[in-house]
Homo-oligomer: A and B are copies of this chain.
Amino acid sequence: MHSPDSHTHLEIPGLRMTKQRKEVYRVLVDGPQDHPTAAQILERVKCNQPGTSLATVYNCLEVLVEHNAIKQVNFDRESSRYCPNLREHGHFHDTNSGQIHDITFKPGIQLADILELPPGTSIEEYEITLRGKLKTSEQSS
């Protein structure tokens, strides 16, 4: 028995786990949580599955997203990034370091509570992305 949101056994209900799919998923789940792009994922996948193609990485990412196993994250028109964090969250892009941080709502906050939504709205998905700078201790000039 494991926690309900863990897929660390690398199985996804209803999806045939080929070696490529498994490896793409593995790279996201237990590789660095740095929101890699398809091209970066390909590099990582190649360590264990050399010969994998970029097209396959895109294919795998597509089915994984469709099966709600991972999320696709977009910053402006940059290359899409992918993340295995399935909890509701947004992203903060620190333009100092280039790093992307997951951002959660404060406890008890619901998106619908804070937005002026037209009556009869049903939200299927949302994306919250922030851009700014994280002030580090060594901020001098």
Residues of A in contact with B (beta carbons under 8 Å apart):
72, 74, 76-77, 80, 90, 92, 95, 101, 103-106, 109, 111, 113-118, 120-136
The residue that A92 contacts in the complex, of B77, B101, B117, with Cβ under 8 A, is B117
Whether B135 lies near A131 (C-beta < 8 A) is no
Query: Given the known A-B contacts A74-B77, A80-B77, are A116 and B106 also in contact in the complex, defined by CB atoms under 8 Å?
Result: yes
The residue that A133 contacts in the complex, of B90, B122, B131, with Cβ under 8 A, is B122
Whether A132 lies near B123 (C-beta < 8 A) is yes
A114 to chain B, nearest CB (A): 5
A-B contact pairs, 17 of them (CB 8 A): A92-B118, A95-B124, A101-B118, A106-B114, A114-B114, A115-B130, A120-B135, A120-B136, A121-B135, A122-B132, A122-B134, A123-B130, A124-B131, A125-B130, A126-B129, A126-B130, A127-B128
